[in-house]
Structure 1
Amino acid sequence: MSNYIHYRDYTGSIEFSEEDAVFHGKVIGIKNMISFEGDSAKALTEDFHNAVDEYLELCEKSGKQPEKPFKGSFNVRIQPELHRQAALAASARGLSLNAFVEYAIRHNVNQP
């Protein structure tokens, strides 16, 4: 079972509150807070779609560009010594630091 739901290039988390007997979630990968909920999978899906559609309509009406999730760049802070080691390892392999980090992430994401 997936803990995510997808619609129009947006991804939402899925959680369940046993106390409230409701599924809920929020759109991940953007700074704006977009949340949704439902008491069934169908209701959760509908509310997620409505929340994304309302966000996009609001952006259009206000003339703002909607945030695009997962643009392909992010800032990572690591210890200076690890930064140095990664840069040297990348150089030894003839890779840029970005390519080295992308490889490391890809390798770890694809692990079971």
Structure 2
Amino acid sequence: MAKEKVGREDPFQSTEKVMQTFRMTRELVAFLKTEASAKGLDLTAYVNRLLEGVRTWFGLPDAASHLLEADREALNMGRYEYILHVLFQRSLELREKGPGFDAPGAEKKKR
């Protein structure tokens, strides 16, 4: 049985890999390949990056990760459902304030 690296030292590096096969629609594979190519990654590296991001709260500092995890648990949501919830909350902010309202230099552009 393969040992899994626990912790956050380097979430995108591992010394031990396991071959796993998944069935996906052609549309999903095409989307993933396009996204990977745009980032200069191969498909495996891109999928690993996405999944590792979900597992580690996208590499946020421990303090932020712990807060998100506590909130997720308090809301009694799975990780996927919680990410949807956070994105929905952001969409509400965007509806009120407009796209890119918190981008660097956004205040200067509004004037």
Shorter-chain TM band: 0.3 to 0.5
Structure (1/2) with the larger strand percentage: 1
TM-score by length of 2: 0.36
Q: Which has the larger radius of gyration?
A: 1
Structure (1/2) with the larger helix percentage: 2
TM-score by length of 1: 0.36
